[in-house]
Amino acid sequence: MEYLLKEVFYLKTGTRKEYPPVDIYESRNAVVFVIDLPGIETKDVLIKVYHNLLIIEGMKRELNNERCGIFICMEREFDSFRRILPIPVPVNPADGRATYSDGVLTVTLPKPKDRVYKIKIEKEKE
Give the model's pLDDT for residue 15. 53
Give the model's pLDDT for residue 8. 45
Give the model's pLDDT for residue 107. 98
Give the model's pLDDT for residue 94. 95
Contacts for 40 with CB less than 8 Å, ≥ 6 apart? 58, 59, 60, 103
E-strand stretches of the chain: 22-26, 30-36, 45-50, 53-59, 80-86, 97-101, 104-110
Give the model's pLDDT for residue 14. 53
Residues of the chain with pLDDT under 70: 1-18, 63-68
Give the model's pLDDT for residue 63. 67
Give the model's pLDDT for residue 36. 95
- Residue 51 sits in which domain range? 19-110
CATH number at residue 51: 2.60.40.790
Asked if residue 65 belongs to a domain, the reply is yes
At 43, give phi and psi (nearest 5°).
Answer: -65, -15
Alpha carbons 21 and 17: distance in angstroms, whole number: 7
Give the model's pLDDT for residue 87. 97
Asked if residue 38 belongs to a domain, the reply is yes
How many structural domains does the chain have? 1
Residues 108-124 as b/e (b if ≥16 CB within 10 A, e otherwise) read bbbbeeeeeeeeeeeee
Alpha carbons 36 and 72: distance in angstroms, whole number: 26
